[in-house]
């Protein structure tokens, strides 16, 4: 069951009213699934539920399995889910290298930590920039550092909350490809929340259109 994020009968409610679902899908590594829908349709709330941070006004039914393991009862830090947002959320008081180090597991020796940070910079195509202030980087560069910080934490699946939305069109396509490539290389299932049809086309995987969901089943289709 490696590289599978499974949603089983997932339904979200807000103040007792059904917001979305039920959703049933298996998200396999190398086949990103895109969750489409207008603002307010519950896309980000679904990600909040997956990571164990659903606000009190919301409730959920269903199960989420990661590589065959039900992670619903687990605390956020034990779920092994990485997440990227629209904003890079880099710490401005830390250097680029220190931001990357924040994603590393505790207990690593100094040399190992340094080696992983250097490898992360190289993979982000930003070698030698570890000492820089994050605010001195371009938006695309900050996005790549945020991605590598998430991946250095060694998640088992990757959640994307419109992380391409604030980039210009040229950078958006390049960064999207980088995210998908790096996730596939690590055998990570990817769930992307978006309202941009270009994201669905680029993913070439399963598309779940919340506008077409009804109370009985989800309407999911392969990209043409």
Task: Give the pLDDT band (50/70/90) at residue 218.
Answer: very low
In terms of CATH architecture, what is 4-80+155-220? 3-Layer(aba) Sandwich (3.40)
pLDDT (tens digit, 9 = 90+) per residue, 159-179?
Answer: 999 999 889 888 999 999 999
- The structure tokens listed for 198 are 């270009």
Answer yes or no: pTM beyond 0.85: yes
Q: Is residue 25 pLDDT above 50, yes or no?
A: yes
Q: Is residue 21 pLDDT above 70, yes or no?
A: yes
pLDDT of 213: 61
d(CA 147, CA 103): 10
Q: Is residue 215 pLDDT above 50, yes or no?
A: no
**CB burial string 138-154: b at 16+ within 10 A, e below:** eebbbbbbbbbbbbbee
Q: CB of 144 within 8 A of CB of 132?
A: no
Q: Is residue 101 pLDDT above 60, yes or no?
A: yes
Q: How far is CA 51 from the centre of its chain?
A: 10
């Amino acid at each position: 069951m490696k590289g599978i994020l499974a949603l089983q009968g997932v339904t979200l409610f807000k103040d007792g009213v059904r917001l979305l679902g039920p959703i049933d899908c298996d998200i396999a590594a190398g086949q990103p699934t895109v969750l489409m829908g207008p603002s307010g349709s519950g896309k980000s709330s679904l990600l909040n539920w997956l990571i164990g941070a659903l606000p009190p006004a919301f409730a959920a039914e269903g199960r989420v399995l990661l590589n065959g393991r039900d992670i619903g009862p687990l605390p956020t830090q034990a779920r092994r889910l990485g997440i990227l947002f629209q904003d890079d959320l880099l710490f401005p008081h830390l250097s680029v290298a220190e931001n990357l180090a924040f994603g590393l597991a505790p207990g690593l020796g100094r040399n190992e930590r340094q080696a992983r940070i250097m490898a992360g910079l190289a993979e982000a195509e930003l070698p030698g920039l570890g000492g820089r202030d994050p605010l001195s980087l371009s938006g695309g560069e900050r996005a790549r550092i945020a991605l590598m910080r998430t991946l250095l934490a060694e998640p088992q699946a990757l959640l994307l909350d419109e992380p391409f939305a604030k980039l210009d069109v040229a950078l958006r396509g390049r960064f999207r490809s980088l995210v998908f490539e790096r996730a596939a290389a690590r055998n990570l299932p990817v769930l992307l929340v978006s309202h941009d049809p270009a994201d669905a086309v680029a993913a070439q995987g399963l598309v779940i259109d919340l506008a077409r969901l009804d109370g009985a089943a989800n309407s999911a289709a392969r990209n043409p």
